Chains A and B, each alone.
Chain A
């Protein structure tokens, strides 16, 4: 009947994107799986061939491996915390009646338009540079020692840069959600004599939960693959202090040209991402089904 017809039409309409994405997922994945069991080093092809799981073993025994997983998760969690909490506060602030709200909003969303390498270059050279950066100028103005961000607090520095890039995105989504909150509900709560804090906890926050979920979900996917910012600023160091999983894979692939190990690292990254996504969905996913 009609439903049968609609359903097949629906399938037909969905087909291009599903097929494309399936090919786009499966082809690189198969290649990566295949290479992950090969020794493949285009710079030194003499020993190339099937090597079983030894690429995985080598990748795992890399002294940077465990730290890189920890760093990957730290970046994701820290940036999420900063952008979600900061985003809520910023959204509440911008939602207040004020002069020049439009311009404020434009200024706040601007970092989102900046390409990651430029953002990293700007922060590295203009802002955090221990000699010429603005932070160093401020420290010297107050008679303090400039902080060597990338030497002493490399991971923190990267988290700050990445959070700066994603704060606008979180703020925008949270702000839209906040503005959709029914005015009448708010008023009713105010009439009841609910203070700002209790209004926030019992009315605003539950209303925004869906938006928060969306922010967490989308950002997690992007944050798991942060890499340009590390390459430009710290190159993963000092030591392995700011090496995350994508960066470790990068080092294997484009510095050492050990494609086999890089592929094994890629497979591990996919597994890790799926684990993270699983827990993220468990924790916040029910908000999506409402």
Chain B
């Protein structure tokens, strides 16, 4: 008896000591709807892991990127889990700034992750970030306006068709713009769209020797087409429109078509916020018959910085947030349509999800149509569909984005913008040592 009491006492004492060692991990994330939802659902995680406490830092995308990049580059050690994208992962993994995720648990099923996505998050076969949600881009269009224009949207439209449809749908007297596209400058804003679009025009950022290609006719065709299309059929102030602005426009019935992230589908088809929820159709991103479509590939992912003291707890969290069980948790609380999309094949095989999300098949097809290793028609020395996975790209992409945004606003000509982009890119590549 005595011995048992003693053992019990020791056990409870060690349990207490354990509880006192409750770890708190700090998670940096973007303020997108899916992440905000994750934050609300953390009770499920803390119930399963009472010894881990979560601190959230939710920031706007640009500020978040600034903060986590500064912190990881200086080894500030402020975060245990970081939300980063497919752009950062390969660069940071090569710098050995991230821990490989090899202890995600037995039931995690890494093979279930869509290959295009896991490929973008792996370096040398090791997964360095777990995808929270993935996206490509596609065409969202108004079925009613398309019908009124006397046209039928094919599943895989061409740019010429988009132009023709946009011209017919535009009715500015009634506030309808044929097409809404991103115009706001930024490597993740207008350049994500334009780079993906340029792939379908056969353009590329650099040739095999890292020589910038903005002086080539493919880029001229891309930018000219874009500027003409937006002048004729785009909304007012397009040069400051990003994802959000266009989303609001589309939800208000002010766009005939909108080519943007596949995650937008769950917003525009949500009757609570969208006035056109029951009238939206989906199609693959357009092409020009060159064998590449103008869609991108992106995954917001959770990664663990190499400097963290709490790797184990952090990995437990990453595993929870990107697991199949998490999707089920969201489904049970808010319906299958709100499950984080674009990461797991099993989600797309799930009949309930297919029923709840009419855009499911088109999303998966779009994701599968993007190839980060072979993004465009001609060979390239870089990885990435709508970006170039080199550290210099954030700055360069944004500079070029500014120049193209000025061309859209009519403040400079297409030729000037391309020439300046070529100069900026050449300077950046020379400085970075890519061009000797």
Residues of A near any B CB (own CB < 8 A): 41-47, 58, 61, 63, 129-132, 136, 145-146, 148-152, 234-241, 251-252, 254-258
Contact = CB atoms under 8 A, between A and B. Distances in A.
B374 interface: no
Given A235-B185, A239-B412, A41 B236 contact: no
Contacts of B391: 41, 43-44, 257
A67 to B, nearest CB: 12
B240 A234 contact: yes
A238 B245 contact: no
Interface stretch (B6-14, B45-53, B401-409): B401-409
6 A-B pairs with the lowest CB-CB distances in the bound complex, closest first? A256-B395, A130-B237, A239-B406, A42-B73, A148-B237, A43-B391
Looking at A136, A149, A150, the one whose CB has the most chain B CB atoms below 10 A away is A150
A235 B237 contact: no
A71 B100 CA distance: 46
Given A43-B91, A254-B70, A238 B239 contact: yes
A75 B406 CA distance: 20
B74 A148 contact: no
23 contacts: A43-B69, A43-B73, A43-B391, A61-B427, A130-B236, A130-B240, A131-B236, A131-B249, A148-B237, A149-B237, A151-B405, A151-B408, A151-B411, A152-B411, A235-B402, A237-B239, A237-B406, A238-B185, A239-B402, A239-B406, A239-B417, A239-B420, A256-B395
Looking at B399, B410, B417, the one whose CB has the most chain A CB atoms below 10 A away is B399
Contact of B402 (A58, A237, A254, A258): A237
Given A132-B248, A148-B240, A239-B412, A254 B66 contact: yes
Interface string B124-149: 00000000000000000000000000
B236 A145 contact: yes
Contacts of B167: none
A237 B405 contact: yes
B235 A131 contact: yes
Contacts of A47: 432-433
Per DSSP, chain A at the interface is loop
Contact of B394 (A46, A132, A255): A255
A257 B71 CA distance: 12
A61 B423 CA distance: 11
Contacts of B420: 63, 239
B406 A146 contact: no
A238 B235 contact: no
Given A41-B391, A238-B411, A239-B412, 20 more contacts: A131-B236, A131-B248, A132-B248, A145-B236, A148-B237, A151-B237, A152-B409, A152-B411, A235-B185, A235-B398, A235-B402, A237-B185, A237-B406, A241-B406, A241-B411, A251-B399, A254-B66, A256-B392, A257-B73, A257-B395
Contacts of B248: 131-132
Contacts of A46: 433
B280 to A, nearest CB: 20
B186 interface: yes
Contacts of B185: 235-238
Interface string B192-223: 00000000000000000000000000000000
Contact of B240 (A61, A151, A258): A151
A237 B185 CA distance: 7
Per DSSP, chain B at the interface is helix
Contacts of B403: 239
B424 interface: yes
Contact of A258 (B395, B412, B433): B395
Contact of A148 (B186, B236, B402): B236
B431 interface: yes
Interface in B356-396: 391-392, 394-396
Contacts of A41: 391
B406 A256 contact: no
Nearest to B235: A131
A145 B236 CA distance: 9
A241 to B, nearest CB: 6
Interface string B12-55: 00000000000000000000000000000000000000000000
A238 B405 contact: yes
A199 B128 CA distance: 75
A150 B237 contact: yes
Contacts of A145: 236
Contacts of A240: 402
B73 A150 contact: no
B248 to A, nearest CB: 7
A131 B70 contact: no
A136 to B, nearest CB: 8
Looking at B236, B392, B398, the one whose CB has the most chain A CB atoms below 10 A away is B236
B295 to A, nearest CB: 25
A121 B257 CA distance: 28
A243 B402 CA distance: 10
A193 B411 CA distance: 54
Contacts of B239: 148, 150-151, 237-238
A174 B356 CA distance: 63
A252 B427 CA distance: 14
Given A130-B240, A131-B235, A254-B70, A239 B392 contact: no
Nearest to A236: B402
Contact of B423 (A44, A63, A254): A63
A58 B237 CA distance: 33
Contacts of A44: 391-392, 432
Contacts of A129: 237
Interface in B236-283: 236-240, 245, 248-249, 254
Contact of A238 (B236, B408, B432): B408
A221 B376 CA distance: 49
Contact of A251 (B91, B237, B398): B398
B237 A131 contact: yes
Contacts of A43: 69, 73, 91, 95, 391
A150 B249 CA distance: 18
Given A44-B432, A256-B394, A150 B240 contact: yes
A154 to B, nearest CB: 9
Interface string B408-436: 11111000010010011001000111000
Contacts of A254: 66, 69-70
A239 B411 contact: yes
Contact of A58 (B73, B240, B405, B431): B431
